Amino acid sequence: MSLEKYSNNSILDYIGFFGPIIVIIISITKLWNQPQYLIGYACFEVINSISNSVLKSLIRQERPVGGRSIINEKYTGPNLFGMPSSHAQTVAFSTIYLYLVKRSPIYLILESFILALTFYQRWKYKRHTVEQLMVGTGIGAVIGYFGFYVTKMAIQKPY
């Protein structure tokens, strides 16, 4: 494997590409001492992921032409399509959910920065259009809010 083709990638490109994994790790770490919210996060992250695959299968909007890969991405199934961006959707979901649980501006700023890097990396490498990224971000944010709300209601419900 030649490193030459990876030499044009900056550390910020890698942070953007791995943004979903990074924010999931941050979110799990920060929710670890709140197991009910952690379970809610995990359940709604699964719902978020499934919704992305379903939407890609229904919408079937192509990815931009001429995209390049940061780590030899191979797409199969619904991931052949670009609408909505799963990277943006996952990072937005985690950002909103964690902020609503913790109400910490620091986590909001950190994960929003990662979201911006993810958005930019996916656009720069022509893996998504701005529209696909915006829709993914919006859907992720809505599911993050809804997931938090449902989890909060479940926690507060007297048994």
List, for residues 79-137, the tens digit of each pLDDT value: 878 899 999 999 999 999 999 999 999 999 999 999 999 999 999 999 999 999 999 99
Q: Which amino acid is at 31?
A: L
Give the pLDDT band (50/70/90) at residue 5: very low
d(CA 18, CA 43): 21
pLDDT given for residue 76 in this prediction = 75
d(CA 137, CA 87): 9
pLDDT at 4 over 70: no
- For the chain, the structural domain boundaries read 4-156
List, for residues 19-61, the tens digit of each pLDDT value: 999 999 999 999 999 999 999 999 999 999 999 999 999 988 8
Under 8 Å between Cβ of 26 and 94? yes
d(CA 83, CA 98): 24
pLDDT at 2 over 50: no
75 vs 21 pLDDT, higher one:
21
pTM higher than the cut 0.85: yes
